[in-house]
Amino acid sequence: MNFMKRAFLSLIRRKGKSLILLVIIFILSNVMAGSIAIGQASRNVEKTMKQQLGANATVEMDWEKMQNWTEEQWQNIQYVTPSMADQIGALPYVKYYDYNSEAYINSTTLKMYDPNMMDQQYNYFPLRGVNYAPVLDIANGTADLVEGRVFSDEDIAKANYVVLISDKLAEQNNLFVGDIVMLNNEIRIWDQATNQESVFATRDIALEIIGIFSPKVNTNQEENGGWIDYTPFNRMYVPNGVVHAENRWMTEQYMIAYPDSGITPDQLERVYINPVFVLNNPEEVESFRTEAMTYLPDYYKVNVSSDAYDSVAGPIKFIGSLSNTILYVAIGATILILSLVVILFLRDRKHELGIYLSLGESKSKVMAQILIEVVAIAVLGITLSLFTGNSIAEATSQSMMDLRAGIEGDGPDGPIYRDSMIYNPGGITEEDVMEAYSIEFSWDYVLILYGVGVGTVLLSSIAPMIYILRLKPKKIMM
């Protein structure tokens, strides 16, 4: 009749006490299981969505840091140069990178794609300069190449006048791979004497279509809140050199048109770029952010695509944080309640413990017997709560989301990054995040629940063990 057999006999012969302990542990385990399942689900959403978003980083000015700038500081502002982008692009975290310059060029022959737009006088097409020949948007899956090819390294290096246009734009204007697109880079000035706008200078740009792409844009008006951005359909991808040349020509013409404008010749060489870095591993984002900042003036900041998740994950983060709080409270309550209940039960069994001690049993074995009894009941309670806790988590998740919706609706502070220019290639929305949220019965959940549950029960046993250590057999037995 060693201490393990004694523990077993105690469990099966003292059914009432065992059942009471089981019910208490089962109830508390359910709270822990529910919190863990909810916490797991919110972490899984974050992981899945961040993986879906990939690890794309952009650089932009941190306007908050520039709020109190002097005029001199504004005059000496430094823009991100291609060489800075190249230095950051050479960091080991970067898989590939691109930097884009933009120009808006009119066309008198092409019609923009927008099913809701009437014919208009001007059609300014966004030209996106590309340095990364496979085109970043196609490489990261926000657009598909449906015909033709992407740029060659030679196209980029020599700034060949070649272009990729969208399938919708091509269809609307009856254009095919190999056709020439004609744009008109023109400078319009306002004549104050006649109070009329006139064309000061114009030059034709002929771009050969080498590829047709299809942007992945949700055109369901209802899902987009009644507004659809058709820019991706009208965007034209060209080598950066083409954009630089056209921007330079425009600046030259402005210098001529407005000699007193203060535009200096060095501004002709100024290139405005938006770099995008695709990282090898989403988990290296913070290291990349830190190292990239060493190449940038301190008034810049690095935005990462996974930040987009943070901007729309308010309800999930709320649920995750609430579930964590509930878990900590449940652990605390379990330790307190279980400690008290086990001590109460031990007081009932004081004579029994005294018998073992008077027979020369070591206190460690007496403690082991009690620990085995408590842990055995705990394992049973936790096992039962694995299933019920999961169901509770499912049932309570919706209530918690509704609660969050209520708080968001009433309070002044919504998600803080909602209006920020975060690079969000997948265009994920709060709805996407909510849809990705699901309570799962996974091995992780099982292991964490057993770990946390048994750990909590062991912590709850500290006070009862101290009680045993303080027992004096003479006082009990004689």
Give the binding site for other proteins (CB under 8 A): 1-3, 5-6, 9-10, 13-14, 351-352, 354-356, 358-362, 473-474, 477-478
User: Measured from the CB of residue 352, what is the shortest distance to other proteins in angstroms?
Assistant: 5
Burial of 21 from C-beta contacts in 10 A (0-12 / 13-18 / 19+): buried
Number of other residues whose CB lies within 10 A of the CB of residue 257: 13
In this structure, are residues 311 and 429 in contact, taking their beta carbons and an 8 Å threshold? no
Q: Which one, 220 or 475, has the nearer CB to other proteins?
A: 475
Q: Which one, 269 or 351, has the nearer CB to other proteins?
A: 351
Q: Which one, 10 or 323, has the nearer CB to other proteins?
A: 10
User: Measured from the CB of residue 22, what is the shortest distance to other proteins in angstroms?
Assistant: 17
**DSSP 3-state of 469:** helix
Identify the bridge partners of residue 185 per DSSP, sorted by sequence position: 203
User: Measured from the CB of residue 345, what is the shortest distance to other proteins in angstroms?
Assistant: 13
Among candidate residues 320, 280, 281, the one with its CA nearest the CA of residue 404: 320
User: Measured from the CB of residue 48, what is the shortest distance to other proteins in angstroms?
Assistant: 53
Length reported for the chain: 478
DSSP E strands in 77-177: the ranges are 94-100, 102-106, 124-130, 143-148, 162-166
- Which residues touch 381 (CB under 8 Å, ≥6 apart)? 22, 25, 26, 29, 453
Q: Which one, 294 or 351, has the nearer CB to other proteins?
A: 351
In this structure, are residues 320 and 37 in contact, taking their beta carbons and an 8 Å threshold? no
User: Measured from the CB of residue 409, what is the shortest distance to other proteins in angstroms?
Assistant: 59
Tokens, residue 243 = 């954009």
Q: Which one, 178 or 360, has the nearer CB to other proteins?
A: 360
Q: Which one, 10 or 40, has the nearer CB to other proteins?
A: 10
Backbone angles phi, psi at 211, to 5 degrees: -155, 155
Sign of the CA dihedral with 385 first, then 389, 391, and 392 last: positive
Q: Which amino acid is at 475?
A: K
Number of other residues whose CB lies within 10 A of the CB of residue 178: 9
User: Measured from the CB of residue 475, what is the shortest distance to other proteins in angstroms?
Assistant: 9
User: Measured from the CB of residue 370, what is the shortest distance to other proteins in angstroms?
Assistant: 14
Identify the bridge partners of residue 300 per DSSP, sorted by sequence position: 61
Q: Which one, 2 or 51, has the nearer CB to other proteins?
A: 2
CA 152 to chain centre: 33
- Which residues touch 205 (CB under 8 Å, ≥6 apart)? 105, 161, 182, 183, 184, 185, 242, 246
User: Measured from the CB of residue 354, what is the shortest distance to other proteins in angstroms?
Assistant: 7
User: Measured from the CB of residue 476, what is the shortest distance to other proteins in angstroms?
Assistant: 9
Q: Which one, 9 or 77, has the nearer CB to other proteins?
A: 9
User: What's the per-residue H, E or C state across 418-468?
Assistant: CCCCCCCCCCCCHHHHHHHCCCCCCHHHHHHHHHHHHHHHHHHCHHHHHHH
User: Measured from the CB of residue 472, what is the shortest distance to other proteins in angstroms?
Assistant: 8
Q: Which one, 14 or 111, has the nearer CB to other proteins?
A: 14
Q: Which one, 118 or 478, has the nearer CB to other proteins?
A: 478
Number of other residues whose CB lies within 10 A of the CB of residue 9: 12
